[in-house]
């Protein structure tokens, strides 16, 4: 145990410069969902160099690398997302994005480098591994319906069958050198919906001859807040928000159409099933009152992410073994954000940790999706060591 710990720490330190260089290369070449063509080539090449059998044909721009240890052992999956965001970078990095209007503002460049770092470490002790590791580089985490579900449908967890899934996500609210761990529900189901309110247009001076879609839409916005405040147990987390409203053409014309786009988020799968009906009942009631019509398109998002306590306990044990007790921080409350790692965790025992990348001194304190989002790169070899050791422990 002590020897393995020393070797993993030594290898993470030895290869840290290459991990960081990979992160910076990827940061300069951000590509949005399902356009990760150059990213795919870079990752596939790096995985081949560490001895992985690489598959780039499983689905779209995904990359899957298999590192085979002793035959007959368990196969552990480690996932990294790949896609960037349509954000114009404002970090001031010397290695800032070279793709206009594109940025790794959610840390997926860090994820890719960290997971590759784990592959590099494990490749150098491959002959001692009691099983195999499948490195799953998944496109389109940021855009529904995401890439995880499609990859699972195409057999990413099969041949060889994955027994455990490991994942991580950067977190600038936690300092570098720590991981955040949360058992059970960690992230919400995040649905989205589009509503078209259809009224009847007319002159602004004669509103009584019209059905004002703006007034109807405004009433719907207000009424929907009753779901959280009056229809759901106040101890049950739920969010129903409208993020966009578009309608009308001029000050003196009553609008005949307004389009609203919103999101609904919950942590309870049973409540998740009820929310669409609650939303539509309110919309139908308001529209009926005013004589308007409506078209509702409701899209199911990623399911609730449930972390396995057993797998989290592996992460806890590994972090303490490698870096001491202060390296583990318990996350007290789940997030209402969504994450399609949840699909993997529904299929096999899995857990996603938060990788601390925060460091206020270097400006690494901005939230996800911020144009000035930064990460303390010391977290990369730290995270790689944890993933490598966790994969070995999960093999049993």
The pLDDT value given to residue 98: 98
Give per-residue pLDDT as tens, 193-210.
Answer: 999 999 999 999 999 999
- Residue 238's pLDDT is 96
Residue 370 has pLDDT above 80, yes or no: yes
pLDDT-based confidence at residue 21 (cuts at 50, 70, 90): very high
- Contact predicate 186/307, CB 8 Å: yes
Do 174 and 356 touch, CB atoms closer than 8 A?
A: yes
Structure tokens that stand for 251 in this block: 């000050």
All structural domains of the chain, each given as residue ranges with its CATH number in brackets, are 2-186+304-395 (3.40.630.10), 189-302 (3.30.70.360)
347 has a pLDDT exceeding 80: yes
Q: Is the pLDDT of residue 353 over 80?
A: yes
Q: In angstroms, how far is CA 224 from the centroid of its own chain?
A: 27
E strand or H helix that includes residue 130: none
Sole residue written with tokens 């806890």? 316
Q: What percent of the chain stands above pLDDT 90?
A: 97
Q: Which residue has the tokens 């001859």?
A: 209
Say how far apart CA 365 and CA 381 lie, in whole Å: 20
- Mean confidence (pLDDT) of the chain: 97
Please enumerate, as own/partner, the contacts of 151-157 that have beta carbons within 8 Å and a separation of 24 or more.
151/58, 151/59, 151/62, 152/343, 152/344, 152/347, 154/58, 154/59, 155/58, 156/58, 156/59, 156/62, 156/64, 156/77, 157/77, 157/344, 157/347, 157/348
Q: What is the pLDDT of residue 71?
A: 75
pLDDT for 325 beyond 90? yes
pLDDT digit string, tens, across residues 65-110:
999 997 779 999 999 999 999 999 999 999 999 999 999 999 999 9
- The residues that bridge with 307 in the sheet, in sequence order, are 184
| pLDDT value of residue 396 | 87
Share of the chain above pLDDT 70, in %: 100
pLDDT over 80 (residue 1): no
Which positions are annotated as active-site residues? Answer: 83, 141
Four-residue CA torsion sign, 342, 348, 349, 354: negative
pLDDT tens for each residue of 158-179:
999 999 999 999 999 999 999 9
Q: How far apart are CA 132 and CA 134, in angstroms?
A: 7
Q: At 271, is the pLDDT very low, low, confident or very high (cuts 50, 70, 90)?
A: very high
Q: Look up residue 366 and give its two tokens.
A: 């901005």
Q: What pLDDT score does 72 carry?
A: 77
The H-or-E segment that residue 72 falls in is none
Mean pLDDT, rounded, for 238-261: 97
Average pLDDT, integer, range 298-309 = 96
């Amino acid at each position: 145990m002590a020897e393995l710990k020393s070797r993993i720490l030594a290898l993470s330190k030895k290869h840290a410069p290459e991990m960081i260089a990979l992160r910076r290369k990827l940061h300069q070449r951000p590509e949005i969902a399902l356009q990760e063509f150059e990213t795919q080539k870079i990752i596939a090449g790096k995985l081949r160099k560490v001895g992985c059998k690489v598959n780039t044909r499983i689905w779209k721009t995904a990359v899957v690398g298999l590192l085979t240890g002793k035959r007959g052992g368990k196969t552990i999956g480690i996932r990294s997302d790949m896609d960037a965001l349509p954000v114009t970078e404002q970090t001031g990095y010397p290695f800032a994005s070279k793709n206009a209007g594109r940025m790794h503002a959610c840390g997926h460049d860090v994820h890719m480098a960290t997971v590759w770092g784990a592959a590099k470490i494990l490749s150098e002790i491959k002959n001692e591994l009691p099983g195999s590791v499948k490195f799953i580089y998944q496109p389109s985490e940021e855009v529904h319906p995401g890439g995880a579900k499609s990859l699972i449908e195409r057999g990413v967890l099969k041949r060889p069958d994955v027994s455990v899934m490991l994942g991580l996500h950067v977190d600038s609210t936690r300092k570098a050198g720590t991981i955040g761990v949360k058992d059970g529900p960690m992230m919400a189901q995040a649905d989205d919906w589009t509503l078209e309110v259809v009224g009847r247009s007319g002159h602004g001076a004669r509103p009584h001859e019209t059905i004002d879609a703006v007034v109807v839409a405004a009433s719907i916005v207000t009424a929907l807040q009753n779901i959280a405040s009056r229809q759901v147990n106040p101890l049950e987390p739920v969010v129903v928000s409208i993020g966009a409203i578009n309608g009308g053409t001029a000050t003196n014309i009553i609008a005949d159409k307004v389009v609203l786009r919103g999101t609904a988020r919950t942590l309870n799968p049973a409540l998740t099933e009820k929310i669409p009906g609650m939303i539509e009942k309110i919309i139908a009631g308001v529209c009926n009152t005013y004589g308007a019509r409506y078209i509702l398109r409701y899209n199911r998002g990623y399911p609730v992410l449930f972390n396995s306590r057993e797998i989290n306990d592996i992460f806890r044990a590994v972090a303490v073994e490698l870096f001491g007790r202060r390296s583990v921080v318990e996350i007290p409350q789940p997030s209402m954000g969504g994450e399609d790692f949840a699909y993997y965790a529904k299929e096999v025992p899995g857990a996603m940790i938060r990788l601390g990348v925060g460091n206020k001194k270097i400006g690494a304190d901005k939230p996800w999706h911020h144009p000035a989002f930064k990460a303390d790169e010391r977290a990369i070899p730290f995270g790689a060591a944890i993933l490598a050791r966790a994969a070995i422990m999960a093999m049993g």
